[in-house]
Chains A and B, each alone.
Chain A
Amino acid sequence: MSHVTQSVSDQELQQSVRKFIVENFLFGQENPSIKSDTSLLEKGVIDSTGVLELVSMIEAKHKIKVDDNELVPDNFDSIARLTQYIRRKQGA
């Protein structure tokens, strides 16, 4: 599994995270003001239910187990942070 996911570049992974967010939280309407480092919580893109959805998506799609102590804004609050978190977990 790790072998397959490592074949995806960081840029592709980031695009895939962005696509999930746009499709699920913005009804497919791209919002240029949401940069890769924009805070999704502060911007109101995701709320607590949105965080749950992100966790479910990451665990299902990327076959990662998200631990309770990893549920912090540093890992979940922007597209870039999510991408880095997934990458770190895949490498672990």
Chain B
Amino acid sequence: MTTGTQGDVLKIDVKREIDRIAKEIAKVLGQDLKRRGLVVALSGGIDSSVVGALAVRAVGAGRVMGLLMPERDSSPETLGLSRSLAKSQGIENVVHEDITPMLDAFGCYRRRDEAVRSVVPQFGPGWKSKIVLPPVTDDDRLRIYSVIALPPEPGAQPIKARLTTEAYLGILAASNFKQRVRKTLEYYHADRLNYAVTGTPNRLEYDQGFFVKLGDGAADVKPIAHLYKTQVYALAEALGVPAEIRQRPPTTDTYSMPQSQEEFYFSLPYNLMDLCLYALNQGMTPQEATAVTGLKAEQVERVYRDIAQTRASTRYLHLRPQLVGQVPEIHT
């Protein structure tokens, strides 16, 4: 859909940016964080792979620990892809922690399934589910999450149901155990090794609050939070991230049914979301943005509105705990 010209606005000097980020990570680690290395949770996705590779450029493979934390709903390729990234970057300290028993103990799956069952009563053992949003560019409809539930019988048709407030929040809260358990383990290993923890959001995710507070949103350093996802892919190639990771469609890898990031959060393919966010950040009117995005002005307008609303509703994710009195010795 986008032409070369449209994609060109996000072109950067990749090698220079890799050098700059690596130097900055090393500086932050030594001067501010005062830690001896970096923990990177590898998911087999593009963002964590690029962060893993940048961590190696910053401090050397010997000071990077790769943590693999799949669970029951993870895609079967996750482990192989993560190991392939570690191998490509020379990361030898790789630890595999299956977090399914921990999530079971928290009641993650049971609580989530109960919430799904509240809107799809027939949802039972062996069923799979995911939550989805309608596309943002099609019409002016308010974007409300629905659940899609798939019966276990071969060839069975999925059932789609609009979520109630309780069901939506219940599914979200239960699923968030996954990111929070992972972050707990990342900090366990970081504490044990005197390492810092990396966060892997790209600019789209960081801007739109596509992370779990005190889950994947928690980190000591977020090396690619300023980069559009298109730019992350460009870095991946230069960093030698294996092609099987670079060519894989982005996924949330959180729900038991395969779920694209568009369905869950962005409502548009990432390259178009990147261009819309870029155009908005550059102060372009929807009309001006048509040349950059290839979308119609009214479609851009809807995306702009959605970006602004999502920014506003996820602002709290970026806030640190709010004090109600001054502590000037700590916060200047």
Which segment of A6-14, A29-37, A49-57 sits at the interface? A49-57
Q: Name which of B142, B162, B165, B168 has the most chain A CB atoms within 10 A of its CB.
A: B142
Q: Is B169 an interface residue (CB 8 A)?
A: yes
Q: Is the CB of A47 within 8 A of B141?
A: no
With A and B bound together, what is the CA distance between A6 and B309 in angstroms? 35
Q: Is A22 an interface residue (CB 8 A)?
A: no
Interface size class of B (residues with CB under 8 A): 10 to 19
Which A-chain residue is minimally distant from B168 (CB atoms)?
A: A52
Nearest-CB distance from A8 to chain B (Å)? 24
Nearest-CB distance from A59 to chain B (Å)? 9
With A and B bound together, what is the CA distance between A91 and B203 in angstroms? 47
Q: Is B143 an interface residue (CB 8 A)?
A: yes
Q: Is B13 an interface residue (CB 8 A)?
A: no
Given contact pairs A44-B312, A68-B162, A49 touches B168 in the complex (Cβ within 8 A): yes
Q: Is the CB of B144 within 8 A of A51?
A: yes
With A and B bound together, what is the CA distance between A55 and B312 in angstroms? 20
Q: Is the CB of A49 within 8 A of B169?
A: yes
Q: Is the CB of A52 within 8 A of B144?
A: yes
Q: Is A72 an interface residue (CB 8 A)?
A: yes
Q: Is A26 an interface residue (CB 8 A)?
A: no
Q: Which of B144, B145, B309 contacts A41 (CB 8 A)?
A: B309
Identify which of residues 57-88 in chain A touch chain B, using a CB-to-CB cut-off of 8 Å: 68-69, 71-74, 76
What are 25 A-B pairs with beta-carbon distances under 8 A? A41-B309, A47-B312, A47-B313, A48-B144, A48-B313, A49-B165, A49-B168, A49-B169, A49-B313, A51-B144, A52-B163, A52-B165, A53-B165, A55-B144, A56-B164, A56-B166, A68-B141, A68-B162, A69-B141, A72-B139, A72-B140, A72-B141, A73-B142, A74-B140, A76-B142
